[in-house]
Chains A and B, each alone.
Chain A
């Protein structure tokens, strides 16, 4: 049992982390809240307080807001679809007995360690460039017209790039979950005459449900704040402006701090709704 003495020591040891995180979270958030009620445009020397909810109303009613929400949903939805489906299939494949399994695993997870600016630029230039990219070479070799990926299919291109980065994450987590499956249960089902499909539907998929939920929630949190991939490919042009990017543009590019801060608070609220879902799943695990 912990003594009174050690309990006090324990609180003291926790204090710095709690204090720092508290400051890190509260101070900027309060400042952002404060700015969001102001007409604050430093480049024009405007600094007027107490506009109430004006910025919020203007941010939400502007056409770029709805568009950015749709763009965000498309990006997050597209990447989730590709990575979760691909991740489940890849995890099942890698769980099979294969020669050189360790090496294949290493190849598959590699993209996750590539920094976002590198993967975005490599894909943009060396693969998707309409003149010198590999896709263009491939298209010409097949007698097709090469396309300018980032101009003609910008959303699809960015979804592909981001999916390439996140597929390893989904695969790795789902593989870990697949491997924790009791193989005797599968064998018993097989002996009882269950086909591959019904084994997948009745045993594997329910077993993976939790891991899939975790993958979806964590990826959503990270995908909502995708930035570098858009920054170096389209710069938010061609309908690739997500909510994060819109807020960034309002604050840094047009220096409309009041409006941008209102957008930032809205982004915080939306992210929190998803975060609550994630916390429930993670929290359940703490009790177990």
Chain B
């Protein structure tokens, strides 16, 4: 028997849910709206919502003054670069743990997870020192390597939980038909694993894009991504709300859109498969 829901009750819950949803979303909406205002309108009291002269000027000014595109490129390079590198390292590892498990597999997985829990600040100075020593401070190469390492446990875990859902019988059947290890991976496993790998990539690009400890402490100019660029607005001069909003909107828009597509994977990835 399906629970009958009165229209009246549905109307009330709908209204409540929408009110709360809009309230939670409001700061983002407000930021986007403000980015199209002039600086004077951005701080006007009472605030203006939609009845202002929409302008794209802030976006042009932000790019002109701060070379926004360079930070954007750094963010893209760090997020995509570290994710792909992580995938290349993680796929074989997750594959072998999911399909050829040993007594130690569980311990290894747990140990990998534990590296993720190391407070970054505890190892900040040695990492900095090593980078300085090799002349790698504030380089994209170093940042890609670091972001790869901090997200590697999550990538391996996500892939592992996806791979484990692929029935082993299919692999055995392929083996019976004479498929070698290579053929097995290329023609049997890969097609079935692609959705899982794609979700893993998506979630990790989001995590790497928003990472704000290592990027704030180890970059200054040449490798600084958008997190650092936005942080430079924390000691502003003059009127800057509209410009801050324009810069913020540009920094979060791509990831917001990707994030909405990855809702389901988010739960699995961030709980290490403990909640599905």
Contacts and interface: CB of A to CB of B under 8 A. Distances in A.
Nearest to A29: B123
Select the residue from B17, B209, B241 with max chain A CB neighbours within 10 A.
B17
Contacts of A27: 126, 130
Contacts of B46: 137, 141
Please report whether the interface of chain B is mostly helix, strand, loop or mixed according to DSSP: helix
Contacts of B275: 173, 176-177, 210-211, 214
Nearest to A191: B1
A214 B274 contact: yes
A264 B118 CA distance: 10
B206 to A, nearest CB: 6
B119 interface: yes
A10 interface: yes
A16 B43 CA distance: 54
Given A116-B227, A225-B121, A264-B122, A167 B255 contact: no
B175 to A, nearest CB: 9
Contact of B93 (A18, A109, A112): A18
Given A98-B13, A244-B121, A125 B241 contact: yes
B210 A115 contact: yes
A267 B121 contact: yes
B195 interface: no
Nearest to A186: B3
B167 interface: no
A137 B46 CA distance: 7
Select the residue from B25, B113, B149 with max chain A CB neighbours within 10 A.
B25
Contacts of B25: 107-108, 110-111
B92 A137 contact: no
Interface in A7-31: 7, 9-11, 13-14, 16-18, 20-21, 24-25, 27-29, 31
Select the residue from B90, B95, B106, B266 with max chain A CB neighbours within 10 A.
B266
Contact of A105 (B122, B230, B252, B263): B263
Contact of B260 (A14, A106, A119, A278): A106
B109 to A, nearest CB: 7
Given A104-B21, A286-B109, A17 B123 contact: no
Given A20-B89, A125-B241, A115 B119 contact: no
B196 interface: no
A34 to B, nearest CB: 9
Interface in B218-235: 226-228, 230-231, 233-234
A167 B27 CA distance: 14
Contact of B123 (A32, A104, A119): A32
Interface string B238-264: 000100110010011001101110010
A218 B271 contact: yes
A113 B119 contact: no
Nearest to A229: B212
A221 interface: yes
B122 A29 contact: yes
A257 to B, nearest CB: 6
A31 B14 contact: no
Contacts of B212: 115-117, 227-228
Contact of A20 (B3, B21, B152): B152
A49 interface: no
B115 interface: yes
Contact of B21 (A5, A107, A122): A107
Given A114-B210, A268-B122, 4 more contacts: A21-B152, A103-B21, A176-B267, A231-B216
Interface of A: 2, 5-7, 9-11, 13-14, 16-18, 20-21, 24-25, 27-29, 31-32, 35, 90, 93-94, 96-101, 103-119, 121-127, 132, 134, 137, 140-141, 164, 167-169, 172-173, 176-177, 180, 183, 187, 190, 210-211, 214, 218, 221, 224-225, 227-228, 231-233, 244, 247-248, 251-252, 257, 260-261, 264-265, 267-268, 271-272, 274-275, 278-279, 281-283, 285-287
In the A-B complex, list the 4 residue pairs whose CB atoms are closest, starting with the nearest. A10-B96, A13-B92, A113-B259, A28-B123
28 contacts: A9-B100, A20-B149, A20-B152, A24-B149, A28-B123, A28-B130, A32-B122, A35-B126, A97-B5, A97-B10, A98-B18, A109-B259, A109-B266, A112-B259, A116-B227, A118-B248, A118-B251, A118-B252, A121-B244, A125-B241, A173-B267, A173-B271, A228-B213, A247-B122, A247-B124, A251-B121, A252-B124, A286-B106
Interface of B: 1, 3, 5, 10, 13-14, 16-18, 20-22, 24-25, 27-28, 30-31, 34, 43, 45-47, 89-90, 92-93, 95-97, 99-100, 102, 106, 108-110, 112-127, 129-130, 149, 152-153, 156, 181, 206, 209-210, 212-213, 216-217, 226-228, 230-231, 233-234, 236, 241, 244-245, 248, 251-252, 255-256, 258-260, 263, 266-267, 270-276
